[in-house]
Amino acid sequence: MARWLSLLALAALIGCDKDCPPGTTLFKGRDKLVGRHVEVCARNGSIGRHGLYKEFYDSAGKHLARKGEYKEDQPFGLFVTYDAKGKVDAVECFDATGKRVWKDGKAKDETAGGRACL
């Protein structure tokens, strides 16, 4: 019994990720384009969309900002929906209240309209 408890505790420590929900980190490290440490996360919201968001850090690892996230199950920022083949199906922009501002159903990549949204 004690062995199982210690294994569960170890699994909890390994699976604990303070930045992204466990198992959703796509990339973590220094991003040359933004010149900062970033973490790119994939997340499923309760509304059934797959969202990508970036966490921005300074060189000391202090959290600076997040772009494209779910707040209380409400989307905020730029989100990408993929088809069954993993290709971009649509890009959507949501405001801070979770209201969709626009949707581009003909987008071919994740960055379509990103600057206008964020």
Task: Place 41 in a pLDDT band, splitting at 50, 70 and 90.
Answer: low
DSSP track, 12-62: HHHH--SSS-TT-EEEEEEETTTTEEEEEEEEE-TTS-EEEEEEEE-TT--
Task: Place 84 in a pLDDT band, splitting at 50, 70 and 90.
Answer: low
Domain count, the chain: 1
* Residue 107 to residues 43, 89, 110, Cα–Cα distance (Å): 20, 7, 8
Can you tell me the distance from the alpha carbon of 51 to that of 99, in angstroms, rounded to the nearest whole number? 15
**Residue 66 forms beta bridges with which residues?**
55
- Number of residues in the chain: 118
pLDDT at position 35 is 54
Can you tell me the distance from the alpha carbon of 76 to that of 95, in angstroms, rounded to the nearest whole number? 5
Whole-prediction pTM value?
0.38
pLDDT at position 9 is 36
* pLDDT digit string, tens, across residues 8-29: 333 333 333 346 666 666 667 6
Domain span at residue 85? 2-117
pLDDT at position 89 is 72
Greater confidence, 115 or 77?
77
Percent of the chain with pLDDT over 70: 18
Q: Given a cut of 70, is residue 104 above it in pLDDT?
A: yes
Can you tell me the distance from the alpha carbon of 28 to that of 36, in angstroms, rounded to the nearest whole number? 11
Summarize the confidence of residues 21-43 as an average pLDDT: 62
